A and B are shown apart, each in its own frame.
Chain A
Amino acid sequence: MENAFVTITGELWWAGDGRVPKVILRYPKYQEIEVAGRRRVADLLRELNLVPEAYLVIRDQRLLTRDAVVEEGDVVEVRPVISGG
């Protein structure tokens, strides 16, 4: 099973044959974070220290609510929604 990669830029990344799902954060700086297995979207965002109000979590072009569960093998995008200036 392929592992989930989560990006904060709108790009999707695949983990190849790695055994542990990874979260890739590219904003505000590039970093990769390994996450262990299934978890709720709310928990995922909390672990990443992201405020849910400022992000959409998207899987297969569908929006996920906070109580949705991200499984191993999912490709999940965490998209920032805040713009400034």
Chain B
Amino acid sequence: MRCLKCRADACIEIRRHNAAYCEAHFVRFFLDQVERAIREERMFDRDEPVLVAVSGGKDSLALWDALLDLGYRATGLYIGLGIAGYSAPSQEKTERFAKERGAPLIVVDLADEYGLGMDEVARRTLRAPCSACGLSKRYVFNRVAREHGFRVVATGHNLDDEAATLFGNVLRWQTGYLARQAPVLPESEDGLVKKVKPLYRLAERETAAYAVLRGIDYIVDECPNAQGAKSLLYKEALNRLEEASPGTKQSFLFGFLDRGRPIFEAARERVAFRQCVRCGQPTTTEVCAFCRLRDEVQQRPPRRGRGRRAGRRAVAPTSAAASAE
């Protein structure tokens, strides 16, 4: 297979574009797609500070790398989630990347700062780990961005992530979520910072390929809490469709953004935000969901038969909190 641009040996095929690229031209393609997303969706300007949410995985590190390469002022934000055996190596890879690239990095440890590691949540509540994790990350993204003066938070959500989320929301006709799914969620007067997804034009396989070609040492292992997650099932189903009909994921997502979302957006019920009486962050209820989660964890004793292993590990100096010091 030959590179579309220079006819050298290709390293990757992009079937939905009916194209293949050599290493150099694939990296160029990747950066062009990121730049196009930022420009067309008016995500942020070249001189505007951007807070990049980084997990140590391929997508967020690839995003951070691409933004730095393109000359954007990208600061990393790593959140230590307190997941035994996973958070510590993730943080190590993130910190090593930041050091090698000379890029600024903010580290927030959930357990240290909020008493809310995800293993602890699993031991003390009935919540699905991914639900509590997502809630906590969204809260910290917004809070840290505001505290440090960032008006934009960028996340590494890729085309597969977005298509899988859309698939799940359509299966259940979650019209509220469908109205809000977009590559850009604008800043609100209520205190929500702008959220952007510069990788939404790029497939998951392409972000992994970019990370490999750029020599990014990312954590390959899946989060232990994600095993059995519905999103993985949706991605598998979509990839089987993509295999049979290249371009399916892109046309599903882009068609929705172009022709479907506006309908849900127009029909959306507007909700009023106010400040959480505890922490002051924007919320639709008196006490925000994050503060309620903290209450839940602090008030309930550890549940038997779940997360015992994690509980034992939490006392040993192997958590993300310990390695941050």
Contacts and interface: CB of A to CB of B under 8 A. Distances in A.
Contacts of A84: 164, 222-223, 226, 229, 231-232, 235
Given A51-B236, A53-B242, A56-B205, A83 B11 contact: no
A interface, by DSSP: helix, strand, loop or mixed?
A: loop
Nearest to A27: B222
A37 interface: no
A29 interface: no
A54 interface: yes
B240 to A, nearest CB: 6
A59 B207 CA distance: 18
A73 interface: no
A9 B164 CA distance: 23
Interface stretch (B43-51, B107-115, B208-216): B208-216
**B contact patch SS:** helix
Question: Taking each of A53, A63, A68, which has the highest tally of chain B beta carbons within 10 Å of its own beta carbon?
Answer: A53
Nearest to B160: A82
A18 interface: no
A70 to B, nearest CB: 15
A47 interface: no
B220 to A, nearest CB: 4
Contacts of B12: 63, 65
Contact of A81 (B1, B133, B208): B208
A67 B20 CA distance: 12
| 5 shortest interchain CB distances as A-B pairs | A85-B226, A84-B232, A81-B208, A63-B11, A84-B231
Interface of B: 1, 10-13, 20, 23, 57-59, 130, 133-134, 160, 164, 203-205, 207-209, 212-213, 220-223, 225-226, 229, 231-232, 235-236, 239-240, 242-243
Interface of A: 9-10, 51-56, 58, 61-68, 79-85
14 contacts: A9-B220, A51-B240, A53-B205, A56-B208, A56-B209, A63-B212, A64-B11, A65-B1, A65-B11, A83-B204, A84-B229, A85-B133, A85-B229, A85-B231
